[in-house]
Chains A and B, each alone.
Chain A
Amino acid sequence: MRGRLKERRQSAPDQQAADPDPRAMAALLEESQDIHHDAMTATGDSLAEMVESGLDARARGEIDPDESREVAAKRTRLMTGAAFGGGLLAAAGIGAALQGLFASDAFAASATDVQILQTASSIEVLAVSTYKTALTLPFIGGASANPVVKTFATTTMQQHSQHLSAFNAAITTLGGTAQTNPDPALAKVVAAAVPGLTGPGPVVALALELEQGAAETYVADVAALSDANAKKVTASIMGVEAQHASVLLAVQALLNANAPQLITLAPGNVANLPAAAGSVGFPEAFFPTDQARPATEGAQS
């Protein structure tokens, strides 16, 4: 993050007076760094710790995958319902229900986490392939493409590929099998949409659906996962998908307003943006989970 702050200063030397006080910030950052790791280190540490727990899990023997699948589905339903729309569950005493579930001998934490992570991987597989397909279209990855849109599609595909690697590493360190197939339910949605990708608008709409679904799934997952390190990895990714969705919402709005020329990172472009563009990228104060995918949708059978 220090690097990014430096880069920002370098890219806007005329704004030096407005920059945060470097000494004060350095002190705070130094203090923070005594306590924190950066993202990749945190992710790496998480995975390393998962190796330990994965080995422990394997030493204890395999857990019935069908039983784990049932538990995973039940857990995510409870987690999603508890926060969003869980009136009946709340009335039934969801706290006690969860405690009972987690305390049960049948609760196969690692295997359940593996299935949740496999679903996450399956979503990432689909995202990578969808952006790859989109980039073959002339108006997304070709000569007629908006440069920012093309860069976004390329970079986002790479980021999803990194997410896929992280999720699959988490899976294997927990003793599971990496997921390399796309989410089967979402894959059908994408397959049905592909013939209609005749312009930037439908592509952005499809990508937005995938990004929003991914972000909401991971938001639900962090409450459903039991392994602390799997939770950390997922938490470091969920907001990134939300940022993808935010960018797509803004791009979609500008396309719908017939103002594609405003999709640019050129300095000063903000002065030309309409007022509504300032809020279209974050429509809700609390990120929802009603579009979260079921926990076992992409798990291996």
Chain B
Amino acid sequence: MRRSTKTPEVMAISEHELSAMTSDLDQLHHDVGMPAMHRAIDQWNEKTRSSRRGFLIGAGAVAGGAILAACSSGSSSSTTTTKAGSTSSSSSSGTLTGDLAVAGLAASLENLAVAAYGDVLTAAGANKLGTVPPAVATFVTTVKGQHAQHAQAWNSAIVSAGHKAVTEPDPVLTPVITADFAKVTNVTGAAQLALMLENVASQTYQSAVSAVKATSSVQVAASIQPVEMQHAAILYYVLGQYPVPNAFNPLTLARPVSDFQS
């Protein structure tokens, strides 16, 4: 990734101080956030190990939202085999229903985000996006890592329930994002595309909070949704837009489970 070579003098100090602050926060994340999340995932996994049906309590009993609609219509779809993407070798085999189907959708969205940010880094490295500001480079690298952690969290539950990890991206959204990214020629375009992905993710998680049944599923979705919205806030700022545009986060971009089950 090409970085701006011209940096205001004041930023020599700013960079140092901000780096120190970021380092502290990163340490806090690893000391507090990650162990806590691992405990939640461990609990989740223990639950699914003790009862493969434990994670599926919600099938057919959810109410409201996209995931609900997909899950409900899938009462007959409770036996739908997950197939997504053209790379069948990495496809999850077996049946994901109820909360696990939501986990599959979430993992596929996270995979798409990881891939998209990876493409941005590759394009930037090939000088296809023009000058990439240092803050944008940090943003992309950090966010890509967080999305990978989110995917890992969801896949942890899926694998624990005896299924293969979901390694493919959302099959419905991916062609759209791929086509859009092919037209991106600069950082602004990449940021706009990333913003859409973050909003899709946060709204899907928000829908999931109401759709899943197991408390641990709600907790995982609820712990990720605000982080995706924070990514979006910074992207708004990068684009010169007001960073908190809505008092209530909408659901219009939430993806349905049928994405993952198509």
Which A residues are closer than 8 A to B by beta carbons? 1-2, 4-5, 8, 11-12, 15, 17-21, 24-25, 28-29, 32-33, 35-40, 42-43, 45-46, 79, 82-87, 90, 94-95, 98, 151-152, 155-156, 158-159, 162-163, 166, 215, 219, 222-223, 228, 231-232, 235-247, 250, 253-254, 256-259, 265-290
Are A246 and B233 closer than 8 Å at their CB atoms?
A: yes
Are B222 and A222 closer than 8 Å at their CB atoms?
A: yes
Bound Cα distance A61, B66 (Å): 34
Are B245 and A274 closer than 8 Å at their CB atoms?
A: no
Contact pick for B21, options A235, A239, A280, CB 8 Å: A280
B126 at the A/B interface (Cβ < 8 Å)? no
Bound Cα distance A222, B212 (Å): 12
Are B18 and A36 closer than 8 Å at their CB atoms?
A: no
Q: List 11 A-B contacts (CB under 8 A).
A: A1-B253, A15-B186, A15-B189, A42-B251, A222-B218, A235-B249, A246-B233, A257-B17, A257-B18, A287-B224, A287-B226
Which B residues are closer than 8 A to A by beta carbons? 3-4, 7-8, 10-11, 13-15, 17-19, 21-22, 25-26, 28-29, 32-34, 36-37, 39-40, 42-43, 46-47, 54, 63-66, 69-70, 131, 133-140, 142-143, 145-146, 149-150, 153, 172-173, 175-176, 179-180, 183-190, 192-193, 196, 199, 202, 206-207, 209-210, 215-216, 218-220, 222-234, 237-256
Shortest CB-to-CB span from A86 to chain B, Å, is: 6
**Chain A residues, CB < 8 A from B10:** 257-259
**Chain A residues, CB < 8 A from B216:** 82-83
**Chain A residues, CB < 8 A from B146:** 282, 285
Task: List the 10 closest pairs (A to B, CB-CB), nearest first.
Answer: A18-B189, A278-B138, A242-B226, A276-B18, A39-B250, A257-B14, A278-B139, A239-B229, A275-B134, A283-B25
Shortest CB-to-CB span from A6 to chain B, Å, is: 12
Shortest CB-to-CB span from B216 to chain A, Å, is: 7
**Chain A residues, CB < 8 A from B15:** 257, 274-276
Bound Cα distance A282, B243 (Å): 13
Are B135 and A273 closer than 8 Å at their CB atoms?
A: yes
A12-B239, A32-B255, A272-B11 are known contacts. Are A280 and B25 too (CB-CB below 8 A)?
yes
Contact pick for A38, options B26, B202, B224, B250, CB 8 Å: B250
Are A283 and B255 closer than 8 Å at their CB atoms?
A: no
A15-B188, A28-B173 are known contacts. Are A228 and B153 too (CB-CB below 8 A)?
no
Bound Cα distance A278, B194 (Å): 14
Are B43 and A90 closer than 8 Å at their CB atoms?
A: yes
Are A83 and B39 closer than 8 Å at their CB atoms?
A: yes
Are B244 and A247 closer than 8 Å at their CB atoms?
A: yes
A85-B36, A223-B218 are known contacts. Are A1 and B250 too (CB-CB below 8 A)?
yes
Bound Cα distance A133, B69 (Å): 45
Shortest CB-to-CB span from A211 to chain B, Å, is: 10
Are A40 and B252 closer than 8 Å at their CB atoms?
A: no
Are A270 and B248 closer than 8 Å at their CB atoms?
A: no
**Chain A residues, CB < 8 A from B47:** 95
Contact pick for A83, options B21, B133, B219, B232, CB 8 Å: B219
Are A270 and B136 closer than 8 Å at their CB atoms?
A: yes
**Chain B residues, CB < 8 A from A38:** 250-252
**Chain A residues, CB < 8 A from B239:** 8, 12
Are B215 and A79 closer than 8 Å at their CB atoms?
A: yes
**Chain B residues, CB < 8 A from A265:** 237, 240-242
Shortest CB-to-CB span from B146 to chain A, Å, is: 4
Shortest CB-to-CB span from A261 to chain B, Å, is: 8
Are B69 and A85 closer than 8 Å at their CB atoms?
A: no
Bound Cα distance A20, B256 (Å): 20
Given A85-B39, A238-B222, A283-B26, 5 more pairs with CB closer than 8 A: A231-B210, A243-B232, A280-B25, A282-B234, A288-B223
Are B133 and A273 closer than 8 Å at their CB atoms?
A: yes
**Chain A residues, CB < 8 A from B173:** 28
Are A24 and B176 closer than 8 Å at their CB atoms?
A: yes
Among B65, B209, B255, residue most surrounded by chain A Cβ atoms (within 10 Å): B209
**Chain B residues, CB < 8 A from A243:** 226, 229-230, 232-233, 243-244
Shortest CB-to-CB span from B41 to chain A, Å, is: 9
Bound Cα distance A283, B34 (Å): 11
Are B234 and A278 closer than 8 Å at their CB atoms?
A: yes
Contact pick for B246, options A240, A254, A278, A286, CB 8 Å: A240
Bound Cα distance A122, B125 (Å): 49
Are A257 and B226 closer than 8 Å at their CB atoms?
A: no
Shortest CB-to-CB span from B239 to chain A, Å, is: 7
